[in-house]
Structure 1
Amino acid sequence: MSVADGAVEPAAAGVPADLAVIGAGPAGLSAAVVAAEAGLRVVLVDAGIQTGGQYWRHPDEWHLDAFAEPEHTGHHHWARYRGLRERLRRHIDAGRIVHRAGRQVWRMDGDARSGFLLRTTAVAGADAAAVDDRAIRAERVVLAPGAYDRQLPVPGWTLPGVMAAGGVQAMLKADQVAAGRRAVVAGTGPFLLAVAAGLVRAGVEVVAVCEANALSRWAVTPLRALQEPGKLVEGAGYAAAFVRHRIPVRTRTVVTAVTGEGRVTGATIARVDSAGRVRPGTERTADVDLVAFGWGFTPQIELVVGAGAETRIDVDGSLVAVVDVDQRTSVTGLYAAGEVTGIGGAVQSCAEGELAALAAAVDAGLAISAATARRLRRRLARGRSFAVGMHRASPVPEQWATWLRDDTLVCRCEEVPLSAVRATVTDLAADDARDVRVTARPGMGMCQGRVCGFALSCLVAHETGRTRRAVDVEPLVRRPIGTPVRVADLAALAEPAGPADLSPRKERS
């Protein structure tokens, strides 16, 4: 039955949810509302105090109505977010969805036979006293944790004023604050255009957008681009903004070093060949106070790996979850949607979330629209084709490590230089990233390899002459504790783990 028939009762205290959705970005929001509409009782868990994830990051909810137009915050598909948010609100009010905001899942155990147990902890600034939220039980789980910025080290990348492109955009979206006055945006991929356009709207002078690859790489995928007309329209909008503001776009150009005393004052820009090697004599220095690096994104794969689900290396080099045509992972009762299955954008993530919810409903014995599922599968096939073309047109340069010096820090947390990584391989015969990590300690600091993990695995593969494989990368993200956790939540493990109270209650202020 559907919720319209009134057959779904609000989740009672001590009753496991039919479905837990982890993440409230495009994929998670879509999964939660579609699952509720299919007749499942849902608990939505997200680290954010507000819904929307990184893509729809926005000012606080009290001012949401002031941002009805996407131009105000640089958002795309803003009307879609507002629609999802309104559907979520209605389901929360009706008791079909329980929203646990400001909570991170730091461990997940179980399976579809015994049920899943999610261990959660409060994020900084959230209500840490919600003891009933520490353990949440659900019969099935949709993982939609999203992704974060991929980092590559260069000399000077630890200086204040060097930021991930996503961090720059987050400040613009959430606070309408620019991180500098004169900037260079560097890396690869279409996301550079979005960040540069946002900076210009905020009054920042963008001296250059440095794209590491040649635009001719896009020529091999014209049909894939035509399958996504929305992307073409979006790109045309960026092109118009660049012409209007006279933003120079330099292809096959990279930032090889950042300079400054105490903070950024300059960036070394150089031309590169097709493999990413610097062309001698092309280096020049740009006076800037902000360097925004965008090398793509890294899926938050920790819970997937922790659950024992199958993974693979995607076309962009990311470790992603393996799913079937309906978003089921290799673990029964566990589904994955959004960037954790491959970086493809918000529209793709929404469709994956919807399909995952429908699959969960089918597996729970509920009837769904077969036509809707077929439509979503076709939509996803087109989107994935475009994503493959985009990643092939915007790869991380093969020889990016040649930009580094021996004293360049690879791991900023543990201050491990490139020379230490190389010495571990050449002198101690370490042949994979895990061995290097244990010996030289890159990835053993505060971030646990989230910042340096991709670069470390690439460097070790380069030094050993091996191809990066899923089995080489998984040890870098396999953690018994997936996120920073409060001591009180660890101490609570000594207490009996009863089901969480999933009864509706007012949102905390």
Structure 2
Amino acid sequence: MAAERARLAVIGAGPAGLAAALAAAGRGIRVTLVDSAARAGGQFYRQPAAGLRARRPRVLHHGWRTWERLSRALAVQVEAGTITHLTDHHVWLVERVERSAATHPPTGTGGFVVHALRGPLQEEPGTVRADAVLLATGGYEKVLPFPGWTLPGVVTAGGAQAMLKGTLVVPGRTAVVAGTGPLLLPVATGLAAAGVEVAALVESADPRAFLRHAGVLAAQPGKVVEGAGYAARLLRHRVPLRTRHTVVEAHGEDRLDAVTVAALDAGGHVRPGTERCIPCDTLAVGHGMLPHTDLADSLGCRVEGVRVHVDEEQRTDVPGVWAAGETTGVGGAALSLAEGHIAGHSVAARLRGTEPDPRDRSAATRSRTRLRAFSAVLDTVYAPPARWTERVTDDTVVCRCEEVTGGAVRAAVDELGAGDVRTVKLLTRAGMGWCQGRMCEPAVAGLTGCEQTPVRRLLARPVPLGVLAEAGEPTDD
């Protein structure tokens, strides 16, 4: 390696991945940025397809100037050859390989091979060699089941937003946005601005809970202003806001035509007599986000709860593997940018065999500390209702892939003695389908009455048998 620069593979081109790639490339590291999307930006900076010729995509985004800065910097680095940006690459495994000390930089580990499926159809195998790996794989939505949630017209809140940002299409004419979490605000205001009648924004949390965290809020005035801006837009579009409410049931035959919402008491129970039916053809629902940890799990990284554990440099406990952004704990784009910046500087220093200079990341470190405190407050305020399982009937489908109902899960616990998600999976097949439990696992854990724990999967996504059968000596992509 004396004759060539050290190589870093960054998996994910969202805010964390972009910040990390730019920081590392700016300090002499050869970076390969591997992403499943056709364009950089991740979910937060999702862009309309070029063929749509969107004239003002900025109106769909918060922090557009930051995106423009990142996009320009990436284009410069790609043009200079310091960053190779691989789009439509769906990573299914990161493999550790041994190398001799004579050909490897001083990271204290062997190298890595990133295995991916290329193209929109995910059919062509591809591999990337690297001396270090940075996981910036983001997060995915947490959706809790309720009667009628499988009807056509019921979508995730993030799915509705992605549809609007990526295709400039709205999911329906009249929508209810429901669940809990800060994502509901931009989804409701975005749909309203696009001409959708938002019949209600149904938030199960009580915003007054923020008053108990005034000190943390004072340290983030920008977030307070951002929230006030969303509130003003809700008023401008006359969107009814129902806090301490939840969706009880979605109604319809062939597709959604209405939802019933009701008020919650302090214990999370539905208050009798508060039910109200709201006609709509779209329900955008979400209950927060969960980190993507599949690749970290398969590498043997330590996962605490549902997030990847990292140190002050964003290093995992597996030598040569860093992680940044939502995979280390959901906290928003600004926190992801700070963590990515810190990780990129750390990788660059460690691959050169030196200690990172604290001055290179002092501002990002301070920002990370404040934003982590703020995200902890959000996690507390926007926790799903304590009694949500009471609204999951025995006929409610919990695992959509395998069509396992709430009654089957409860029977596995009450009659067959299952006490954890894995045992329920073995007894009912909940979590054995295409998504491998990523969607239903929170619901199964809640109905089982146990904590959601990491599930180590060898492969991060479904892989054709032909790709596995033909896998041989890896070559650079």
| TM-score band, normalised by shorter chain | over 0.9
Q: Distance in 2 between matches of 1:167 and 1:430?
A: 33
Q: Distance in 1 between matches of 2:252 and 2:51?
A: 40
Residue 92 in structure 1 maps to residue 107 in structure 2: no
Q: Show the counterpart of 2:105.
A: none
Evaluate the alpha carbon distance shift between residue 10 and residue 165 of structure 1 in structure 2; reply closer, same or farther with a 3 A threshold: farther
2:314 to 297, 321, 327: 327
Q: Distance in 2 between matches of 1:431 and 1:415?
A: 21
SS at match of 1:200: helix
Q: Show the counterpart of 1:451.
A: 439
Q: Distance in 2 between matches of 1:122 and 1:411?
A: 29
Q: Show the counterpart of 1:116.
A: 112
1:20 to 9, 15, 26: 9
Q: Shift of residue 65 of structure 1? A: 8.1
Q: Determine if contact 2:199/2:239 at 8 Å carries over to the other structure.
A: yes
Superposed, 1:307-322 pairs within 5 Å as 307-313=299-305, 319-322=306-309
Superposed, 1:57-456 pairs within 5 Å as 57-61=46-50, 66-67=55-56, 70-71=58-59, 74-110=60-96, 113-125=109-121, 128-129=123-124, 134-313=126-305, 319-365=306-352, 369-456=357-444
2:462 to 480, 484, 495: 484
Q: Distance in 1 between matches of 2:325 and 2:236?
A: 34
Q: Show the counterpart of 1:505.
A: none
Q: Shift of residue 311 of structure 1? A: 1.0
Q: Determine if contact 2:49/2:167 at 8 Å carries over to the other structure.
A: no
Same amino acid, percent of matched pairs: 42
Q: Shift of residue 63 of structure 1? A: 6.4
Q: Distance in 2 between matches of 1:418 and 1:65?
A: 44
TM-score (normalised: structure 2): 0.94
SS at match of 1:209: strand
Alignment-mate amino acid for residue 469 of structure 2: A
Q: Distance in 1 between matches of 2:441 and 2:118?
A: 25
Q: Determine if contact 1:10/1:94 at 8 Å carries over to the other structure.
A: no
Q: Determine if contact 1:268/1:286 at 8 Å carries over to the other structure.
A: yes
Q: Determine if contact 2:298/2:459 at 8 Å carries over to the other structure.
A: no
Q: Distance in 2 between matches of 1:32 and 1:372?
A: 15
Q: Determine if contact 1:50/1:61 at 8 Å carries over to the other structure.
A: no
Q: Distance in 2 between matches of 1:88 and 1:40?
A: 14
Q: Distance in 2 between matches of 1:34 and 1:338?
A: 15
Evaluate the alpha carbon distance shift between residue 147 and residue 124 of structure 1 in structure 2; reply closer, same or farther with a 3 A threshold: same
Q: Show the counterpart of 1:5.
A: none
Q: Distance in 1 between matches of 2:77 and 2:91?
A: 22
SS at match of 1:33: helix
Q: Determine if contact 2:12/2:135 at 8 Å carries over to the other structure.
A: yes
Q: Shift of residue 487 of structure 1? A: 3.7
The unaligned stretches of length 5 or more in structure 2 are: 98-107
Q: Distance in 1 between matches of 2:266 and 2:313?
A: 38
Q: Answer with 221-230 or 335-344: which moved more.
A: 221-230
Evaluate the alpha carbon distance shift between residue 82 and residue 65 of structure 1 in structure 2; reply closer, same or farther with a 3 A threshold: farther
Q: Distance in 2 between matches of 1:402 and 1:123?
A: 43
Q: Shift of residue 61 of structure 1? A: 3.9
Structure 1 segments of 4+ aligned residues over 3 angstroms from their partners: 8-11, 61-67, 366-369
- Partner deviation per Cα, 1:170-225 (whole Å, 9 max, x = no partner): 11111221101111111112211111101100111111111101122111111211
1:496 to 441, 457, 473: 473
TM-score (normalised: structure 1): 0.88
Q: Distance in 1 between matches of 2:399 and 2:444?
A: 8
Q: What is the aligned length?
A: 465
